[in-house]
Amino acid sequence: MHAIAPARRRRTAFAVLAAVVALGGAACGQLGPEPASKGAKSSASSKGAKENAKDKKAAEPFAGLSGPEIANRAARATKAATSLTLDITMKSADGPTKGFMAISTKGDCKGTLSVGSDGTVELIKTGNTAYMRFDEAFLREQSKGEPAAEADAVIKTLKGRWMRTDVSDPEAKDSLELCDLDSVLSELEANDNAARRAGETTVNGQKALKLTESDGEATYTLYVATEGEPYLLKVEQVGGEEPGTMTFSAYNKPVAAKKPAAKDILDLDKLGEQ
């Protein structure tokens, strides 16, 4: 087992996480049609009733906008953010996946990822350098099939240490995709869609409007902030192959991505020369 071996699993795990990000695009592009009008009201309806209905409609979030227009407005606002955090929980073929990433448009990021029972990966990227650290459970999973002595030696070397690597390293490129905010949000491009309003709610104390649709066995729901910028607050998939939830928060807040202490860093380039 080589010290860089965990990169193979990192690529798989981060690809799964990126697939959840695509939920935003799936939901924006596939949301079902706006409910059809049930026909004109009876001509006997009073003028007062009509005015009350008009006032009620004007008071609802995004008054005068259709579901598709709201979805596209949320996509544009979210893509314009300078930073945000993603809190992800989902089920996949690799098992339950959880992740938390803070990302900025500068490319800095900091977060954690765990897949099934394989353990946890921590990631920091600042400038052109990335640092990754794996817990013992992850390293043990990676060492399966290796001679016990060799596995123990590698685990002893890596446990508790940050592996330093240049962001241009092919082994790290895929793992760092989630540090590119533009790439993460690329699926949220404003496209033609037929989003449907599904009522109002709150997400972590913020007022939100729900947009929803069913596609086969999956039901998608987008939660859009109704106060301040119309940011996307949450994307949820129920049913389907990879159900899960992705929550967006901490918009435009600084990302605390700092270089780890020198004593805790393991330089992979130097290790490979040994």
Reading the chain (274 residues) residue by residue, the pLDDT tens digits are: 332 233 333 333 333 333 333 333 333 344 434 444 445 545 545 555 555 545 555 578 999 898 888 988 998 999 999 999 999 898 877 788 898 999 999 889 999 988 777 788 899 999 989 998 988 888 887 777 778 888 788 888 888 899 888 888 777 776 777 788 887 777 665 455 567 899 999 999 999 999 987 778 888 899 999 999 999 999 898 988 889 999 999 999 999 999 999 999 986 655 555 4
- Residues of the domain holding 235: 6-32+71-261
Residue 240 lies in a domain: yes
* pLDDT confidence of residue 56: 53
Closest CA to 34 of 70, 74, 71, 67: 67
Residue 64 lies in a domain: no
94: CATH: 2.50.20.20
C-alpha 154/C-alpha 162 separation (Å) is 13
Residue 159 lies in a domain: yes
Prediction pTM value: 0.73
Closest CA to 111 of 251, 208, 224, 14: 14
Q: Which amino acid is at 73?
A: R
Residue 248 lies in a domain: yes
Backbone φ/ψ region at 234: left (φ over 0), alpha (ψ -120 to 50), beta: beta
Residue 196 lies in a domain: yes
* pLDDT confidence of residue 86: 92
* pLDDT confidence of residue 136: 84
Residue 117 lies in a domain: yes
Residue 101 lies in a domain: yes
Number of domains in the chain: 1
C-alpha 3/C-alpha 106 separation (Å) is 29
* Tokens encoding 183: 């790439």
Residue 99 lies in a domain: yes
Backbone φ/ψ region at 160: left (φ over 0), alpha (ψ -120 to 50), beta: left
